[in-house]
């Protein structure tokens, strides 16, 4: 009962926060509870009967987590999970408050949590996850994660807390080295690997966005291998058997997310793992908020493409349908230094109808340098959207909006779309 007063106070703060901002998912209640009951978060997360699974890395966390949760639920488990906005300490605590009893217990068989690299490393010493899954190390959030060595060190802190299995991307050089260290350390843990075949990597000549891609490909007998990707379909090789897989969005990066989820489900379930059940569940989820999501506005389908770092920008640009005829790009205030995106080669876009957001002129300049025609620069996102949606229906492909997180929030607000709990921070 020692956490009861803190839980009651946190819930009161949550009600007040939502009264102030209807529909908002505030992290303030978590901040309050962490201040007055700092042991609550670790106690709740370490209390699930079948343990805790942590998913972390530079990119792909949200999609991987959603796929993994679907796979575990398809196996009959009751799963507690967090949205992508709740991947920092106070957000995690706020998410737990939604489900915790007054004694601090949270119902569920197992917890699957997406964790921000920095916050995850900070709270890792208090946690005992059964399984840790690491997606990749990329150039990301230069105001926080300005150095890839630093990110790798943060992920190492999280991985070292795993009691059973660490699931790693064998194609990421940083993570491959970490896997070897974990297997040969003073307290070795099992390392489960996933990766792409040489053919799949060759089909992505720019690579998959990792800061350091390992020189060797995973052998089929050593883990889960992505052997083919075509649009929203892929093939996985597991234990020598090839399986078809459906993806929520186009691109090899989504196939890698699916491979992460399946490999992690296998690690968490052990002998109960059924590959057909897992792949069916992974293939059934809709796109994760803004990531290849298709929405219908006034009877017309619009595709949303979220870009959050140079790697995701490049991968998403490269995976767009080649006949995409109408594109709007909205880059907002979350991109504090516009030069952040200059390494991205946008030339394949060819023609962008409107550049928008507070960084409209900056992204338009980059596009022009890449020989992309830009019809209009309109910093006001609402005005840009109205003009874009007023265009006649494209003869080829869907109208496509590429945006940063700030551009996405403004787009959804202007279009009157419900703000999803999975909105990125």
CA distance 92 to 113: 8
Q: Low-confidence residues of the chain, pLDDT below 50?
A: 420-425
User: What is the per-residue pLDDT for 217?
Assistant: 94
- Summarised one tens digit per residue, pLDDT across range 86-118 is 556 666 777 777 676 666 667 789 999 998 888
For position 424, what pLDDT does the model report? 36
Tell me, what's the pLDDT at 91?
67
Residue 86 phi, psi (nearest 5): -105, 40
* Tens-digit pLDDT profile for residues 172-225: 999 999 999 999 877 788 999 999 999 999 999 888 989 999 999 999 888 999
Q: Two tokens at 417? A: 């779309």
Q: How confident is the model at residue 423, as a pLDDT?
A: 39
Pairing state of beta strands 110-114 and 52-56?
parallel
pLDDT at 397: 84
Q: Which DSSP category does 337 fall into?
A: S
DSSP state of 215: S
Q: What is the pLDDT of residue 73?
A: 97
Looking at residue 67, its pLDDT comes to 95
φ, ψ of residue 214 in degrees (nearest 5): -65, 150
**Is 204 exposed, middle or buried (CB count within 10 Å of its CB: 0-12, 13-18, 19+)?**
middle
Q: Which residues of 353-363 are buried (b: 16+ CB within 10 A; e: fewer)?
A: bbbbbbbbebb
Element spanning 185, H or E: none
Predicted pLDDT of residue 4: 73
The SS3 assignment for 142 reads: coil
Helix (H/G/I), strand (E/B), else coil: 379 = coil
The whole-number pLDDT of residue 370 equals: 96
CA dihedral 191→126→422→57, nearest 10 degrees, is -40
304, 408 contact by CB (below 8 A): yes
Reported as half-sphere exposure (CB side, CA atoms, 13 A), residue 246 has a value of 12
Question: What pLDDT does residue 199 have?
Answer: 96
C-alpha dihedral over 24, 158, 215, 63, to 10 degrees?
-20
In angstroms, the Cα distances linking 23 to 18, 95, 218 are 6, 14, 45
pLDDT of residue 135: 96
Contact status, residue 129 vs residue 46, Cβ threshold 8 Å = no
């Amino acid at each position: 009962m020692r956490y009861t007063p803190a839980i009651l106070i946190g819930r009161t703060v949550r009600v007040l926060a939502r009264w102030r901002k209807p529909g908002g998912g505030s992290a303030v209640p978590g901040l309050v509870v962490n201040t007055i009951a700092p042991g609550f978060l670790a106690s709740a997360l370490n209390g699930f009967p079948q343990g805790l699974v942590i998913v972390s890395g530079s990119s792909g966390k949200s999609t991987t987590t959603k796929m993994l949760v679907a796979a575990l639920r398809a196996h009959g488990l009751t799963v507690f999970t967090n949205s992508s906005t709740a991947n920092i300490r106070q957000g995690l605590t706020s998410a737990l408050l939604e489900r915790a009893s007054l004694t601090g217990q949270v119902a569920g068989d197992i917890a699957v949590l997406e964790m921000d690299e920095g916050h995850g490393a900070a709270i890792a010493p208090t946690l005992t996850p059964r399984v840790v899954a690491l997606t990749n190390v990329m150039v990301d959030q230069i105001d926080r994660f300005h150095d890839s060595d630093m990110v790798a060190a943060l992920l190492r802190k999280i991985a070292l807390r795993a009691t059973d299995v660490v699931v790693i991307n064998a194609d990421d050089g940083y993570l491959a080295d970490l896997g070897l260290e974990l297997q040969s350390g003073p307290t070795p843990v099992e390392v489960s690997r996933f990766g792409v075949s040489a053919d799949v990597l060759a089909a992505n000549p720019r690579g998959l966005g990792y800061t350091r891609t390992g020189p060797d490909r995973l052998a089929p007998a050593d883990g889960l291998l992505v052997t083919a990707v075509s649009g929203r379909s892929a093939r996985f090789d597991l234990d020598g058997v090839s399986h078809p897989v459906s993806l929520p969005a186009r691109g090899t990066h989504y196939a890698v997310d699916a491979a992460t989820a399946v490999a992690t489900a296998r690690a968490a379930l052990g002998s109960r793992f059924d590959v057909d059940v897992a792949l069916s569940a992974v293939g059934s989820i809709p796109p994760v908020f803004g990531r290849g999501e298709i929405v219908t506005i006034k009877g017309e389908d619009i595709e949303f493409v979220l870009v959050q770092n140079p790697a995701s920008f490049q991968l998403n640009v490269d995976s767009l349908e080649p006949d995409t005829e109408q594109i709007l790009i909205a880059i907002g205030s979350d991109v504090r230094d516009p030069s952040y995106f200059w390494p991205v080669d946008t030339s394949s876009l060819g023609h962008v109808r409107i550049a928008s957001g507070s960084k409209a002129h900056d992204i338009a300049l980059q596009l022009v340098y890449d020989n992309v025609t830009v019809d209009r620069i309109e910093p006001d996102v609402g005005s840009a959207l109205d003009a874009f949606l007023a265009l006649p229906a494209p003869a080829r492909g869907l109208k496509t909006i590429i945006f940063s997180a700030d551009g996405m929030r403004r787009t959804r607000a202007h279009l009157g779309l419900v703000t999803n709990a999975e909105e990125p921070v």
